[in-house]
A = this chain, B = another copy of it.
């Protein structure tokens, strides 16, 4: 079988992980090109992974005829432009979240995707590829917990990465766009419904820097969904214990909790601190396997001609909701969708 030839853009922490996965772990795929403005890192990574083509300009990469698809792990502000350009060049596209930094951009991207029905477009909501989330979602979809009553989801980054978060604050779009988008995606996926109202609060509990960007270091919102389900989301940047992504869905006949202890592995330690589990340090440790599986789905869809489970419309919808949450947070008012 002919392998899918991929070029990957962006070599930050997640970009590096994607590049290594494509080069070493994804079936039916080949990493043929890398693109990054940092030429030292570009060549170091390309050498290590035996990648023949290296680019500092995205447009140059697109002109590589043998390229079948691109994986975008570039800054959020570049996503929609790069998606459009890649599609126009006839390349399949996998883009990391968020789809775009404005809803207008997202809508324009919908048109671009619609204009290329033969090309695969997929958005990186990796939690949908995590085995535990999939197992839970199937139980909910099968009606095992009855009617959804409350969906609660937390995304907490460890305090020890706060310097990076502060440096990135001007470009992050705020916590609802930067972190809660994953929880918004999960809420729609688990409940099969859409929000009607949102009330959002929070603040700078430890790091006043985020206030400059009308953001907080910890925020939350309560939403009413159209099917009546209550949705409570919490996003924080000061977790003392590690990277904590946990979700609970309370139904009328059962309750599921996913990763309520963000355990690093199956080792339990009994020492002077008590009986304890060490926690995942970051998203790569927690979702390393899911990051592989999402790219595998991208490649499999290219090979089979099927559509990925996450569509461009999911990307737009999640962005719209995240922006509405952000507006609710900034105004302090109850917002109706």
Tell me the residues in window 108-148 of chain A with beta carbons closer than 8 Å to chain B beta carbons: 131-132, 135-136, 139, 145-147
Contact B258 A271 (CB under 8 A): no
**A199: chain B residues within 8 A (beta carbon):** 199, 222, 334
Cβ-defined partner of A240 (8 Å) among B139, B264, B272, B277 = B272
Contact A274 B267 (CB under 8 A): no
Q: How far is the CA of A271 from the CA of B240 in the complex (A)?
A: 5
Contact A265 B205 (CB under 8 A): no
Integer count of this chain's copies in the complex: 4
**A135: chain B residues within 8 A (beta carbon):** 264-265, 267
**A149: chain B residues within 8 A (beta carbon):** 205, 218, 236, 238
Chain A interface size range: 35 or more
Q: List 19 A-B contacts (CB under 8 A).
A: A132-B266, A136-B267, A199-B222, A201-B230, A205-B228, A220-B230, A232-B234, A236-B250, A239-B270, A240-B253, A241-B272, A241-B273, A244-B270, A255-B270, A261-B275, A273-B276, A274-B276, A274-B277, A334-B334
Residue A262 interfacial (CB < 8 Å): yes
What is A's interface to B at a CB cutoff of 8 Å?
Answer: 24-25, 27, 131-132, 135-136, 139, 145-147, 149-150, 159, 197, 199, 201-203, 205-206, 218, 220-222, 224, 228, 230, 232, 234, 236, 238-242, 244, 250-279, 332-334
Q: How far is the CB of A91 from chain B (nearest CB, A)?
A: 25
**A279: chain B residues within 8 A (beta carbon):** 270, 274-275
Q: How far is the CA of A81 from the CA of B252 in the complex (A)?
A: 38
Contact A254 B271 (CB under 8 A): yes
Q: How far is the CB of A252 from chain B (nearest CB, A)?
A: 4
**A205: chain B residues within 8 A (beta carbon):** 147, 149, 228, 252
Contacts A135-B264, A240-B271, A333-B334 known; list 9 others, CB within 8 Å: A24-B27, A218-B230, A220-B230, A240-B270, A240-B272, A241-B273, A256-B268, A259-B266, A260-B268
**A224: chain B residues within 8 A (beta carbon):** 201
A136, A159, A197, A265: residue with the most chain B Cβ atoms closer than 10 Å: A265
Q: How far is the CB of A289 from chain B (nearest CB, A)?
A: 9
Contact A255 B241 (CB under 8 A): yes
Contact A267 B277 (CB under 8 A): no
